[in-house]
Amino acid sequence: MIGAGRTKQYANVLDKPLSKGRQEVSLSAFSFLFSEIVQYNQTQVDNIAELERRLEDAGYAVGARVLELLCHREKGNRRETRLLGILSFVHSTVWKVLFGKVADSLEKGTEHEDEYMISENELLVNRFISVPKDMGAFNCGAFVAGIVKGVLDGAGFPAVVTAHFVPMEQQQRPRTTILIKFAEEVLRREAKLG
Amino acid sequence: MQNAELFTLTYGAIVRQLLTDLEDVDEVNKQLDQMGYNIGIRLIDEFLAKSNVSRCVNFKETAEVIAKVGFKMFLGITATVTNWDVDGSSCSLVLEDNPLVDFVELPDMCQGLYYCNVLSGVIRGALEMVSMKTEVTWVRDMLRGDDAYELRLKLLKQVPEEYPYKDDE
Amino acid sequence: MQFFGGTSEVTLSPSVPSSIGTGPLGSNAYMLYLFNRNGVCLLYKEWHRPLKTLDSNQDQKLMFGLLFSLKSFTAKMDPTRVEKGNLGVPLLPGEGCSFHCFRTNTYKLSFMESPSGIKIILVTHPKSKDHRENLRYIYNLYVGNVVKNPLYVPGTAIKCELFNTSLDQYIQTSI
């Protein structure tokens, strides 16, 4: 899973019994690991944008692996070819494997044809967060945006994916929205498929 | 509890990030240990809050608690405590399973890597917070061809609580 | 001074001066301190403290010092234990007996310490109830909202909004 020997890795994964997916660790184990990733990456950057980019990169690697795993396990190596198909795959299948639930919502952007939003009221990586004022709009959700981007890219749907806090009425805490803006080629291909 | 895959894959992503950043396997081993230590000094409070353990004075008991309660609480596995030395200051923890390593096979360029070094750091950090200075090292590592995952735990000293301020402050 | 031991508590002066009031919304809480094992005050909050005579740094050090000495004294005077160190000899956290509160005629101080050396001190109205459960709850709030906040650096002052709001709410409703 680390860099070199990629093809070897795939063969290895196929050799493994896939029922391993049932094994469980505590939510805290992930939270502590993730905290340390954020802390480590803070030492590697000068600004918030760079920090988010590095978290996105880490997430991207996770997303690419998740896609491979799920394609073998759940879809018999069949991949989604349609836009709504891949979006619902991310919103339900991927979310279930990673977060144990389907995402709270999947919506189409109202202003732009190429934008979609997956929202989560309590995204795992933001559950315990308090962002200090000097970190501005920093959002740990960049990691999850990276995961989504990794899945989409791997499936042939390149997109720019970003994470945002969206304040909600009647709720103390903002929800996290993962904004997906598909590349032009994706929309052109989709239009051709009719 | 949640599916281990997010955890396992995220750990893989951080190891990969370190290999890219540091370009040296020994440095990566050190950094993983340091990250584990940083996790350990946080995680101990969650452990104490959840387990209701009110004091940890005895090293022997502490090792058992790590193996049976600690590993279970965080990684969903247990470990066996064995090989105590005569004066009861060092022992081995043998892991029954290891969720960090699913899907992992070390590529040739990473042969010196202690992939799971984060774990030894976590134990060291957590124990330091309850006043036990320890040394934690890998004895057996299946990724390196051994037949099990085994950590050696050695108690260096128990540190009493000192008054933290100097008089002239 | 005379306090503590096991679960009982000794009250020196039961008569509460009539000037003793309560905090906002009738809460009994006056102040709260949270220290780590190195004596760093991670959090100080006050809800009701009419008299301020010290700068906050001095105030926090005095509070920490008071508890540090008390712990040592209480362990030393423990009549039930055979193996106890000499007075002034440092204790391991979790070693010796532990006291959980003392009361004066004007305030009550409740205390808990985790084996990791986190100390939580709650100062309240002298007539307020046993606060051990509350302190445990606050420790859990700290774990959930501070320790697990990816942006919190251990050993630094707590500026987590999530923790501050939950703590305030809890104090107002439960103390």
Q: For position C73, what pLDDT does the model report?
A: 84
Instruction: List pLDDT tens digits, range A26-49.
Output: 889 999 999 999 999 999 999 999
Instruction: List pLDDT tens digits, range C142-151.
Output: 999 999 999 9
> Tokens in use for B31?
């950094």
State the pLDDT confidence band at B39, using cuts at 50, 70 and 90.
Answer: very high
Burial class (CB in 10 A: 0-12, 13-18, 19+), A184: exposed
Residue B34 has pLDDT above 90, yes or no: yes
Measured in angstroms, the CA of A84 and the nearest CA of chain C are apart by: 34
Q: For position A93, what pLDDT does the model report?
A: 93
State the pLDDT confidence band at A76, using cuts at 50, 70 and 90.
Answer: low
Q: Are A128 and C150 in contact (CB < 8 Å)?
A: yes
Structural domains in chain B? 4-158 (3.30.1380.20)
Residues of B in contact with A41 (CB under 8 A): 17
Residues of C in contact with A130 (CB under 8 A): 145, 149, 151-152, 159-163
B neighbour chains, 3+ CB pairs within 8 Å: A, C
Question: Using N-to-C axis directions, what is the helix angle for A48-73 and A27-42, rounded to 10°?
Answer: 140
Residues of C in contact with A32 (CB under 8 A): 148
Do residues C22 and C137 make contact, with C-beta atoms less than 8 angstroms apart? Answer: no
Tokens 């890795």 correspond to: A9
Instruction: List pLDDT tens digits, range A154-166.
Output: 999 999 999 999 9
- Going by C-beta distance under 8 Å and a sequence separation of 6 or more, which residues neighbour residue B102? A16, A20, A23, B4, B5, B8
Least confident of A80-84, A177-181, C25-29: C25-29
Residue A7 has pLDDT above 90, yes or no: no
Q: For position B167, what pLDDT does the model report?
A: 62
Q: Are A58 and B10 in contact (CB < 8 Å)?
A: yes
Q: What share of chain A in percent tops pLDDT 90?
A: 66
Residues of B in contact with A40 (CB under 8 A): 14, 31, 35
State the pLDDT confidence band at B164, using cuts at 50, 70 and 90.
Answer: confident
Please tell me the distance from the alpha carbon of residue A172 to that of residue A96, in angstroms, as a whole number: 25
pTM confidence score: 0.87
Measured in angstroms, the CA of B153 and the nearest CA of chain C are apart by: 19
Buried b (16+ CB within 10 A) or exposed e, B82-106: eeeeeeeebbbbbbeebbbbbbbbb
- Phi/psi region, residue B130 (left: phi>0; alpha: psi -120 to 50; beta: rest), is alpha
Tokens 């805290």 correspond to: A28
Least confident of A80-84, B62-66, C22-26: C22-26
Mean pLDDT estimate for chain B: 90
Instruction: List pLDDT tens digits, range B62-98.
Output: 999 999 999 999 999 999 999 999 999 999 999 988 9
Residue of C nearest to A138 (CA): C151
In this complex, the residue of B11, B38, B43 whose CB is nearest that of residue A39 is B38
Domain covering C26-174, topology? Beta-Lactamase (3.30.450)
Q: What residues of chain C, 129 to 168, have a C-beta less than 8 Å from chain B?
A: 139-140, 142-143, 147-148, 154
Q: Are C151 and A129 in contact (CB < 8 Å)?
A: yes
Structurally, what CATH architecture does the domain formed by A27-193 represent? 2-Layer Sandwich (3.30)
Instruction: List pLDDT tens digits, range B118-161.
Output: 999 999 999 999 999 999 999 999 998 899 999 999 999 988 87
DSSP string, chain B: -EEHHHHHHHHHHHHHHHHHHH--HHHHHHHHHHHHHHHHHHHHHHHHHHH-------HHHHHHHIIIIIHHHHHS--EEEE---TTSSEEEEEES--GGGTT----GGGTT--TTHHHHHHHHHHHHHTTEEEEEEEEE-GGGT-SSEEEEEEEEEEPPP---S-TT-
> Tokens in use for C101?
């509160």
Interface test with C, best of A130, A131, A133, A143 (most C CBs within 10 A): A130
Q: For position C90, what pLDDT does the model report?
A: 65
As a whole number, mean pLDDT of residues C148-160 equals: 92
Q: For position A16, what pLDDT does the model report?
A: 44
Q: What share of chain B in percent tops pLDDT 90?
A: 73
Q: What residues of chain A, 131 to 190, have a C-beta less than 8 Å from chain B?
A: none
